[in-house]
Chain A
Amino acid sequence: MIQTSARHAETDAHYKAPDVAGYGEVPHDEKVRLFEQVKGDFRFADYLFGCYECGICVAACPSAKFYDFSPRRVAQAAAREDVDLIYQQMQEDIWECSQCFSCLRCPRGNNPGGIITIMREVAVNNGLASAKEALVGYSRIIYKIMSSGTQVSPDMLRSDAFPDWGPETADVADNLDLWRRALPAETMHTTSAGWSVADKTLVELYLIWLETGALDMIAEVDRGLHSILLELMEERLEEEGIQP
């Protein structure tokens, strides 16, 4: 059941003003539409069984120790279908989650981290301000995983990218090719990917990204990256004579 407007007006008073939080207010119907996408995901019913309000998930949550963040509030808002609070959480809270799933300690069997996974996907799919902000600086990583099939690569270890990781990072960067050739496993001599991924495997991966709509998800948050990846994948599939 969707909450009434009167209830929203009352609870809105406790919220940080959207313009202060860095995103625009939207009509109530838009919040309902977004929540329906969350609720419509087949995983939602597997992740939420009501909430005792016991707070065990908060006690276990690393993000709750450092941010104004609560997995309990996420589970409660979802259970109450409080679309105002859910919208606020999609704009302000969900990217703080560590996705460690310590909250699975929930005695009710809830999965607040899983609900957040769904909320994030809806935020990305709809190009919400929080998603755009969270993914700033993330383009190269998305490019890496979607194009190479491995998320992190040896050549990401640069002292300008990880200055807080100590001088050893610079040592790795300075000796990268040589140190990779010193690895005894022959699949691991690569520098731009974690291991050597076969061409045929990459083609199969590209087909998966295109067939499942995963590639199209980034169109709303990073149009330029989406175009680059789409061109790369379609060209490669065309070379193989495959029509996605």
Chain B
Amino acid sequence: MTIPIEALRRQKAATKPVADRRSADDPRAELLELERQGELIVQKIDREAVTVSTKYGREKRIQKAHLWHHKSCGQCGHIPGYSTSIFWVMRKLGYDYHDPSDQTSCTAWNYYASATSNSAAQAAVAVRNFAAAYESGYFPLIHCGTSYGHYKEVREELIRHPELRAQVRDIMAKLGKPLVLPEEIVHYSEWFHALRDEIAAKQVRDMSGIVVTVHPACHYYKLVEGDAIYDPDIYGGQRTAVVTGLAQALGAEVRDYSTWFDCCGFGFRHILVQRDFTRSFATLRKIEVMKEEANPDVVLTHDTGCVTTLDKSQFAARAHERNVGLAVLSEAQFAALAMGAHPYRVCQLHWHSADYRPLLEKLGIDWEKAWAEFQSDLRRLESGEKRYLDWDDVDA
């Protein structure tokens, strides 16, 4: 499939742009103005940063080091190799970070699933986490696509509604914290995109024979869309550049498929209590279409729910002899594998359901040997030799 890039550009050039009423053109400038008025504090980027372009051309800076990792409950809980791969890649590139326990989830899974929360609570949870990052001196990096999207929504609400700012400021005062927001809300996949050349420079496994499809995460680029990274050199600037840019930098072949815009079928409440919908959508509209149109070795995505949905939904579809059976990884795990990470010690692929072993074999990884090494690690834990594995163990 070919994107009619030139036709789209001509059409856009001939159309008068309409202001997006849903979000600020430059939220950073709005925040700085509110800071000047004494309404809030803006945590500034204070280390080396990479400048990238967003959907409508605003420049966004991505701080490289000294980052406060806002973890994802779904990643840490159900696909822990997603989180450990993010940490591992950052360590390998030599950038320092803080992995806090003074962090809650954004609680937005609950907000979107059960509606047993409200905008004031959600804003207070967001600002409490941002205040914890501010107090630590590290700049926040958001692991979850939903947290990233929701925090952008919260930022819009706080910018637009002084009564919400006042309410949150009062609550923060009771917690002994300021009303603080970061200069930019940054998703981890933006960090991977911004540093893709540095990641590729540390690559030890050849990805040139690997065919990839990309599922762009809805809450990354549909919620407050103006903040997502776009690049004229990737999809002609017609789709978000993250994930695809990294996969291409690593030498993989990214193939297109017709339902790229469709969501994965996660549904928030559906994945937990109404999974007939989730399974159907994930397999019929995503996995099968990818297989029929692109026949990839792996689908890469960049959000918690998308990895979970696309990975877990394939098992039941196999019983119905559907055309499924496709490895699902985050691009962080893919990048870690490219940089030589252990598939079990770092990428924790034994938590995945869809068969990833053919992908490993194509990468020249002896997964049986790797699994035996991991079993050896587990025996050290069982024998009491160690209570926990650490970062030195995973690179042993």
Contacts and interface: CB of A to CB of B under 8 A. Distances in A.
Nearest to B267: A98
A196 B101 contact: yes
A102 B262 CA distance: 8
B388 A189 contact: yes
16 contacts: A62-B265, A62-B267, A104-B222, A124-B116, A136-B273, A138-B113, A138-B273, A145-B105, A154-B80, A178-B378, A183-B80, A186-B99, A204-B128, A212-B121, A214-B121, A218-B116
Interface residues of B, number: 96
A182 B101 contact: no
A89 interface: no
A103 B281 CA distance: 17
A15 interface: no
A217 B112 CA distance: 15
Given A99-B267, A184-B393, A214-B121, A151 B105 contact: yes
B105 A181 contact: no
Nearest to A97: B267
A146 B72 CA distance: 16
Interface SS majority for chain A: helix
Contacts of B352: 168
Interface stretch (A19-27, A73-81, A157-165): A157-165
B101 A187 contact: yes
B76 A195 contact: yes
A188 B270 contact: no
B51 interface: no
B248 interface: no
Contact of A102 (B71, B261, B348): B261
B107 A145 contact: yes
Contact of A150 (B77, B164, B171, B374): B77
Nearest to B128: A204
Nearest to B157: A43
Contacts of A198: 101-102
Contacts of A137: 273
Contacts of A47: 22
Contact of A184 (B112, B120, B218, B394): B394
B117 A217 contact: yes
A202 B104 CA distance: 8
B353 A165 contact: yes
A197 B129 CA distance: 12
Given A104-B222, A194-B71, A211-B174, 7 more contacts: A46-B22, A117-B111, A179-B351, A188-B84, A201-B102, A211-B171, A214-B120
A41 B75 CA distance: 32
Contact of A104 (B76, B114, B175, B223): B223
B346 A169 contact: no
B125 A208 contact: yes
Nearest to A114: B153
A54 interface: no
Contacts of B92: none
Contacts of A208: 121, 124-125, 128, 171, 175
A111 B22 contact: yes
Contacts of A221: 116
A172 B351 contact: yes
B74 A109 contact: no
A185 B87 contact: yes
Contacts of A184: 84, 87-88, 345-346, 389-391, 393-394
Contacts of B394: 184
Contacts of B120: 212-214
Contact of B388 (A181, A204, A211): A181
A98 B21 contact: no
Contacts of A123: 115
Contacts of B261: 60, 102
Nearest to B110: A145
B166 interface: no
B118 A213 contact: yes
A205 interface: yes
